[in-house]
Structure formats: C-alpha cells, structure tokens
Chain A
C-alpha cells in the first residue's frame, strides 16, 4: 500500500537515513525499532511526505506521494506525531474533529458524519467523557490518547504512529496497541509504529524494521528479526529471549 524505496535523507550535511526501504501492507503492523537518533522519526516523516527526501521515492498504491497535495495525502495517511504542542485551549472533541479536516466542507463546518466518527473513536479510546475537556488541562497520557483518537478519526488507509504509548499506563499501552491492531485487521488499515517497548512490538507487530545509524540493520517477520544478537547489536544491551510463562509469546528481558 505505502512503500518507501531506497530512501536517503541528508540534513545539513549529515546522513539521517541511508538507503532505507519499507513496505506497509493492508492489515499489517510494522514496528520500527532502533536506538535514539537511529532515524525512526525521520522515516515516519518521510512516509507522510512532510520531509524532503535526498534520494529514493515514496509511493502510495504505486503513485508517487510527491505528486499529491497535502490534502490528498492527509486523506490517505494519518499520523500520531511525537511532540504535541497544544498550548491552545481547544476542547478534546474539537481536537479530534480536526483530524477530519479534509472531509470538511468549504467553510469548514463539521457534518453529523464527522461528529459520529469523532464520538466513536473517543469511546474506543476510553475518552467518551472527555469531549468537553480542554487539551491543555489533560495529563500527558490522556493527551496522547486524544492524539491517537484524532488520527483514527481521520479514517485513513495508513496510520503512522511515533511512540504512541510513551506516556501511557500499563493497561492503556496494551489497549492502544490492541485498538490499532483491530483497526488494521477489520478496516484493512496499514500501520507503522515506532516504539521502544520490545515486548509490545513482539506481541503486536507483524513485521519489524530494525534501524541502526540511519540504515536498516535487519527487517522481516517479527520472530526472525527479534533475536538476541540483533537486539544487542542495535541497542548495545544484553537481553534474554524466552517464551512468556503465562501466555507463551516472545518475552524480551534486559540484563542490566
């Protein structure tokens, strides 16, 4: 669906990304992993066309993203960015509705459809009671859930998530990932998620992209890619991988 081919990005003389290719497929989650400064956020920005590429192409269903307007791209790809500047006193409902900008009419009044979509995602993000609260008065984790809700309200084909669970409590970390996965499976959405939580990645990702110093260190199905050797090479820590005693899935434990 969304494909980046041989992407290189240079910012003020420094290579941020070198020859990175990645493919997002319908119904699948790609986890983008790597140490700080490995180029993960840059890759996400490249995938939604908001960062100029030095070499390579990004295309949606075979057509280059560069030929599309911001409006067209926003109809296809929704993003959850890392830092969210919301100093402005805007309500949660208004914020979520802003995710549906491209669906709006000429003078920008939202339709009953927009309200339905917004209220539905608020509910599925555990935010049903939050509609009239102000964004700048929420906690970091609550705000992050609203930002995710906005991306889902857009009803786009692709979801790009940059550390969507960084500030979330344990239960919401899992429920947000479950939500993203069910969007993928049920609505044929393709998703890419940056995360530092290897256990969440192991549980929810279909494929993994391991970045190191701006290049691909390893990529492929989760089970093949998440090995103790790869992890210690990329993150510089030793880990133990085993099957989780309770549920049986892959468990990653850092040795300090």
Chain B
C-alpha cells in the first residue's frame, strides 16, 4: 500500500519536472517569469501543445502496450512491433488523401486501421497450439513490412517538401503538434485508459490462465474485445497526431513490472504516468540533441527500445 502511494507520488513529481523542463529548454531558452511577446508565442503556441500532446501519446502507447501484453501473456506485445501503429499510419494517410480537410477523420481512420491490423496479426499468430512468442513477433513483422510497402508507395506520390515531413511523421514526430490534435488524443487516451483499467483484474486472472479465468467468472471474450478495441483507439489516436512512436509500449510497462510487480491494477494507471514522462523526456532530447535542427522523437525511443527488445526476447 505504502509502496503504491510512493510510486504514484514519485511518478507525478517526475512528470511535472519533465513537463516544466520541456517547456523551458529548447533553441530559445525560456524563463517563465519574464517573457516577451515572442517568447510567449513560443511557449503557448509551439511548446505547450507539443509537450501536452507528447504526454498524451506516451500515456496512450504505454497503456496500450500494457493491455496487449497482459492479454497475450507476452512481454513483447507492443503496438509498433505488431504492425498496429503502421495500420494506424496507413489509415491516417488514407484519410489525408480522401478527406484532407476534416481533422476528426484522421484519428477515426487511424483507429480503424489499427483495429484491422491488430485483428490480422492476432489471427495470423494464433495456431492450433495457441500463440507463441515467435509466431506473434513474426506475424507482426510480416504485417509491418506489408503495410510499410503500401505506405512507401503512397508517399512516393508526394512532392519533395511534404515527403520530408511525412518521413519524419512516420518515424514518430511531435513537431507538428496542435491544440486540436492534443484534444482529440486526450479524449481517446482517457477513454482507452479507463476501458483497459476497468478490465485489469480480469487481465490478472487471465495471466494466470485463460481457462481458470473462465472458471472463476471472467467473460474472456468480452475482455479480449474491450482490450483490443481500447488499444486500437489509443494507438490510432496517437499515430494520427504524432506518427508511429515506437517501443514506448514495450519499455514503460516492462520497467514498471520490474519495480512494482505485475498486478495490472497498478501497471495500467502507472503506465499512463510513466509513458507520459518517457515521451516528454525523449522529445526534449530529440529537440536538443542536434539543435537547432531536430530529430523525430521516434528515433530516440527506438534507440532505447530496440536493445531492450533484444534483451526481452533472449529472456523469454
């Protein structure tokens, strides 16, 4: 009990620190107490929406990862690696081409794309003998590469200037953040997190064993549907706003499990906090690393995440 409260306080403090730091530093250093007009514009119109969006995206991706890992009983289940993010990216691009002017269409299409991609991956990964790690990862790779090739085909139709911004977006990029994008992502991340959190005890039972869970009153099929839908919504909305930021859903829940155990009732809400911290921090690094030029935030998260993936794969 005490530990829980300590973790909650620590994570909240870290999030506040990460946000403050992210708002203050950058190509123009801001001191919050004496801002001129230009600096105010930088703070409120560029940095604040970007940091807020980053926090939402981080929370969404980490919660989606935690949910999928519990459901599939597999620490390697991660939206980006399973091709779910790419499904969402393709959905976003299609809506961009078809309904470019309607902002809501993008997350809507992205969520549908994420849903279809995850349905395909899990269908492929399931064999008669159940679902093993190798099969799941392999199915993810196949769907990812297939969707990537369609995305490349679509981007090759773009002109050079837009190509660069699209390439950045595909890697996960927060530099195009707007308040509108933030609000849409915020709605999805709150709804999705609550949905997965409401299933967290059922997920605990399913981690022990699906048949046992069924015996003791878990409506396994409904839990699966809720978690898949919520994860697709979380990933879809994030990708529509910021592209495919990878590995967040892998790193964050894993580190939390090392620290506080695998009770999903704690892992899910704490993943939201820790995911927000991680992406806000990674984006700050992305802005500073080669200033005044910027890196896409997805490059930073992948730099941390890929080695961790190898480590987890060797252990499982």
- Chain A interfacial positions (CB closer than 8 Å to B): 48, 50, 69-75, 78-79, 81, 84-86, 88-90, 94-95, 98-99, 101-102, 104, 106-109, 150, 154
B214 to chain A: which residues have CB within 8 Å? 50, 70
Chain B: number of interface residues, binned into ranges: 20 to 34
Which of the candidate stretches B10-18, B52-60, B97-105, B201-209 sits at the interface with the other chain?
B201-209
Instruction: Answer whether residue B218 sits at the interface, using C-beta atoms and an 8 A cutoff.
Output: yes
Instruction: Answer whether residue B216 sits at the interface, using C-beta atoms and an 8 A cutoff.
Output: yes
B219 to chain A: which residues have CB within 8 Å? 69-71
Q: Given A50-B215, A71-B219, A81-B215, A108–B201 Cβ distance below 8 Å?
A: yes
Q: Given A90-B208, A108-B200, A98–B216 Cβ distance below 8 Å?
A: yes
B265 to chain A: which residues have CB within 8 Å? 107-109
A104-B204 Cα distance, complex, nearest whole Å: 13
A98-B220 Cα distance, complex, nearest whole Å: 14
Contact of B200 among A71, A95, A107 (CB under 8 A): A107
Instruction: Answer whether residue B164 sits at the interface, using C-beta atoms and an 8 A cutoff.
Output: no
- Of the A-B pairs whose beta carbons lie under 8 Å apart in the complex, a sample of 20, sorted by A's number, is A69-B219, A70-B217, A70-B218, A70-B219, A70-B220, A71-B217, A74-B216, A84-B209, A85-B209, A88-B73, A90-B262, A94-B204, A95-B208, A98-B212, A101-B202, A101-B205, A101-B217, A101-B218, A107-B201, A108-B204
Instruction: Answer whether residue B155 sits at the interface, using C-beta atoms and an 8 A cutoff.
Output: no
A219-B218 Cα distance, complex, nearest whole Å: 34
Instruction: Answer whether residue B211 sits at the interface, using C-beta atoms and an 8 A cutoff.
Output: yes
Contact: B217 with A108, CB < 8 Å?
no
Instruction: Answer whether residue B148 sits at the interface, using C-beta atoms and an 8 A cutoff.
Output: no
Instruction: Answer whether residue B61 sits at the interface, using C-beta atoms and an 8 A cutoff.
Output: no
Instruction: Answer whether residue B7 sits at the interface, using C-beta atoms and an 8 A cutoff.
Output: no
Contact of A154 among B200, B216, B218 (CB under 8 A): B216
Tell me what chain B mostly uses at the interface: helix, strand, loop, or mixed.
helix
A69-B204 Cα distance, complex, nearest whole Å: 20
Instruction: Answer whether residue B114 sits at the interface, using C-beta atoms and an 8 A cutoff.
Output: no
A72-B218 Cα distance, complex, nearest whole Å: 10
A88-B69 Cα distance, complex, nearest whole Å: 13
| Smallest CB separation, B271 vs chain A (Å) | 15
| Smallest CB separation, A248 vs chain B (Å) | 38
Instruction: Answer whether residue B178 sits at the interface, using C-beta atoms and an 8 A cutoff.
Output: no
Instruction: Answer whether residue B198 sits at the interface, using C-beta atoms and an 8 A cutoff.
Output: yes
- What total of A-B pairs shows CB separation below 8 Å? 73
- Chain B interfacial positions (CB closer than 8 Å to A): 73, 197-198, 200-202, 204-205, 207-209, 211-220, 262-263, 265
A73-B204 Cα distance, complex, nearest whole Å: 20
The 8 A-B residue pairs with the shortest CB-CB distance, nearest first, are A108-B201, A74-B217, A102-B217, A71-B217, A85-B209, A101-B216, A79-B215, A98-B205
Across the interface, name the chain B residue whose C-beta is closest to A103: B217
Contact: B208 with A101, CB < 8 Å?
no
Contact: B212 with A81, CB < 8 Å?
yes
| Smallest CB separation, A160 vs chain B (Å) | 9
A106-B207 Cα distance, complex, nearest whole Å: 19
Contact: A81 with B211, CB < 8 Å?
yes
B197 to chain A: which residues have CB within 8 Å? 107
B205 to chain A: which residues have CB within 8 Å? 98, 101
| Smallest CB separation, B260 vs chain A (Å) | 13
Q: Could you list 4 further interchain pairs (A-B, Cβ under 8 angstroms) beyond the known A48-B215, A72-B217, A84-B212?
A: A84-B209, A95-B208, A101-B217, A108-B265
A90 to chain B: which residues have CB within 8 Å? 207-208, 262
Q: Given A70-B218, A89-B262, A50–B208 Cβ distance below 8 Å?
A: no
A71-B204 Cα distance, complex, nearest whole Å: 16
| Smallest CB separation, B67 vs chain A (Å) | 14
A86-B208 Cα distance, complex, nearest whole Å: 6
A52-B204 Cα distance, complex, nearest whole Å: 26
Contact: A102 with B216, CB < 8 Å?
yes
Across the interface, name the chain A residue whose C-beta is closest to B199: A108
| Smallest CB separation, B197 vs chain A (Å) | 6
A77-B94 Cα distance, complex, nearest whole Å: 51
